[in-house]
Structure 1
Amino acid sequence: MTFGAGASRGTDYQLGALALFLSIATIATALGYQYIGGYVPCMLCLWERYAYYLAIPLLFIALVLLTGGHRGSATALFVIVGLAFLGNTVLGIYHAGAEWKFWPGPAACGGGQSLTTSAGNLLSQLDSIRVVNCEEAAMRFLGISFAGWNAVASFFLMMISFGAALTAREQSAEASAPNI
């Protein structure tokens, strides 16, 4: 299969590209709420970002591997990304459950802000530091907190990533099967 202008990509590539696009959009939204909207993330919020930071480069590499015909390696990367989002789904559910008071959040959960390294600004910055509690939702949209939406997004990204892995594996098996 050659990829020239107008050539179509396989389903595995399309699913991987969709997962990459949605991962970038999701983490960009989280960072936008933080740096533009002023929402300070808690410790669990920051942990929930790790799956995206892992997934984005791995998905990009998997797409490059697919383009080069290395479906086996791409399949392994899609599985790793799917597992990362499975873990992130569980973490998001735990975090949302702590916000709804279904169970306690971690005792060590505090703010996600860093202190200045300048001694002159330290005292003034200490006055403005807000400690963010993991058990308090910063905002709810349609009744669901950021943590809840992360669990939903991670679940769908997990499904898309595993779908890409499955189709890449199937297409790899078809390509290696002898033609009779």
Structure 2
Amino acid sequence: MMTRSLNITYFTALIVTLGSLAIISGAWFIELGLGIKPCHLCLIGRLPHYFGIPVAAVAVILARSGTQLRLARTLLVLAAAIFLVGTGISVYHAGVEFGVFQGPTDCTGTLSQPESVNDFLKQLDTVKIVRCDEVAMRIFGLSLAAWNAIICFGLTFIASLGAQGRR
């Protein structure tokens, strides 16, 4: 039988794992299913999910077993820190989209030195830069970066609650 603190730790770790999996699955669906290519900052914004999912998943397993509850809570602290970094990345990205911050140079693209005007025109046809300062998709008026910031902050909060082991 699960104790109350085990129950909270287990369920918060499960929520964090599934929530992050849902976000990264949605990002892949938007990219591969809808054909909307991510910018450089979008790809960086996915990294906390790639790191946070396995950390939270191990916390789920440990909390469920009941024998490693302290380690499960420590992993939830790590997950909270990872998603707090994700919040910062996404706030920066949303700020770039809204013109508050200057975006990285990766989002502007570079062309090699063309030999002729025809070479230059061919390069323009083949180089496709996804700009970080343009919103590719909005949901309820917010960009995906803004939603990722909100969700990462929520995952940080939930993981922090689970790390405490109480309501």
- Cα deviations across residues 15-39 of structure 1 (Å, max 9, x unaligned)? 1111111111110000000000111
Residue 46 of structure 1 corresponds to which residue in structure 2?
A: 43
CA shift, 1:129, in A, is: 4.5
Residue 31 of structure 1 corresponds to which residue in structure 2?
A: 28
Aligned length: 152
Letter in 2 for 1:24: L
So what's the TM-score if we normalise by structure 2?
Answer: 0.83
Q: Which consecutive residues of structure 1, in runs of 5 or more, have no partner in the other structure? A: 4-8, 112-123, 172-180
Letter in 1 for 2:105: A
- Cα deviations across residues 21-78 of structure 1 (Å, max 9, x unaligned)? 1111110000000000111111110011111111111111111111222011111111
Contact 2:9 2:72 in 1 (8 A): no
Cα 1:164–1:2 change in 2 (3 A) is closer
User: Distance between the aligned counterparts of 1:14 and 1:110, measured in 2?
Assistant: 43
Cα 1:110–1:76 change in 2 (3 A) is farther
Contact 1:23 1:56 in 2 (8 A): yes
Residue 59 of structure 2 corresponds to which residue in structure 1?
A: 62
- Cα deviations across residues 68-122 of structure 1 (Å, max 9, x unaligned)? 22011111111111001101101111100110001211122257xxxxxxxxxxx
- SS of corresponding position for 1:108: helix
Residue 16 of structure 1 corresponds to which residue in structure 2?
A: 13
Residue 162 of structure 1 corresponds to which residue in structure 2?
A: 160
Cα 1:76–1:110 change in 2 (3 A) is farther
Q: Which consecutive residues of structure 2, in runs of 5 or more, have no partner in the other structure? A: 110-121
Residue 117 of structure 2 corresponds to which residue in structure 1?
A: none
Cα 1:2–1:147 change in 2 (3 A) is closer
Root mean square deviation, CA, Å: 2.3
Q: Which runs of 4+ in 1 moved over 3 A?
A: 126-129
